[in-house]
Amino acid sequence: MKLERWRRDNEYMLTIQEHIPLAPKTTFGIGKTARYFVEVKTETEIEEALGWAKERGIRPIVLSGGSNVLLPDEELDALVIMIMNNDFSFADSELEADAGCSLLHLIKTASERNLGGWEKLAGIPGTLGGAVRGNAGAFGPEIKDFVVRVRALDIELGDVREFDNDACDFSYRHSFFKDHPEWIITRVWVKLGRSDPAASKQLIEETIRERERRHIQNVRAAGSFFVNPVAPKEVQEIFEKEKGLKSREGRVPAGWLIEKVGLKGARVGDAVASEQHPNYIKNDGKASAAEVKELAQKIKNAVRGKFGIELQEEAVVL
């Protein structure tokens, strides 16, 4: 393992490492190594890392909390930039936080300050920046319901810009930043409501327990692997009749579709569609990215064949 200290203006700014294992840095526990790797804590350090990569003609890849991503079985010939910034502050009912902050930690800390409204997002794995990028949601609320504005950096042009909520182009599991990966989220402003700390804490705990009941906590997975798709009317009606629930925006759960095609618990090597929540493809040992992709394709083919629905990955597959 070789270390390179990058020097600019007679100051050592970054420590670039070579051939760093990536699997331990992801919730999936899958992936080989990064040709180059660096941890950054500030927007300036992100810019310096991008400058290092640009000077050498090396592709930059940004990771934050390591959730919602499937890395390849081969070495990434790139500079992997791991965002480790975790500074945050409160002003009245507004939270200003770095993109690298743990979402769960922010929810719990806000609760202690009599601020809430987003407790049902508790337990979603990863960082605030990742949640904004994918417009993460659970049990009704989505992060878009709380975001005031977002600061982001264009890795291609070096521009820095602030986006208000409308400019983020939020929709179901989607944002402007998902469509434009050249923009890296660096900071987020969130508006919360007043809450009772005891009631807020109880709701956080109940939400996490419900997630654990569904077996979507503490497993090696990327999170939900597929987006819940918009389904034909007849499929919506089958779901509503069977589950006694109303379809939201014409969507049905991807996990329900996987179960209906008989692939709950399906396995390819050590990649498994969880018995408790089949839209979680989990690493049940030493799963490879190839095994996960083979299982995902098997699921997509089966759902397309039975329902005519094309599942789309929510996880980022590199």
* Positions marked catalytic: 173, 224, 314
Of residues 50, 139, 132, 148, the one with CA closest to residue 99:
132
Helix (H/G/I), strand (E/B), else coil: 28: coil
- Is residue 32 classed exposed, middle or buried when 0-12, 13-18 and 19+ CB atoms within 10 A define those classes? middle
d(CA 228, CA 267): 21
Contact between 301 and 257 under an 8 Å Cβ cutoff? The reply is no
d(CA 149, CA 273): 36
What does residue 130 show for φ and ψ, rounded to 5 degrees? -65, -40
d(CA 82, CA 228): 29
Burial pattern 71-94, b for ≥16 Cβ within 10 A else e, equals: bbeeebebbbbbbbbbebeeeebe
Of residues 286, 282, 284, the one with CA closest to residue 315:
282
Of residues 289, 268, 267, 264, the one with CA closest to residue 277:
264
Q: Where are the beta strands (DSSP E) in the chain?
A: 3-8, 11-21, 33-40, 60-63, 69-70, 76-83, 88-91, 94-98, 115-116, 147-154, 160-164, 183-191, 193-194, 267-268, 271-273, 281-283, 316-317
Q: Beta strand pairing status for 193-194 and 115-116?
A: antiparallel
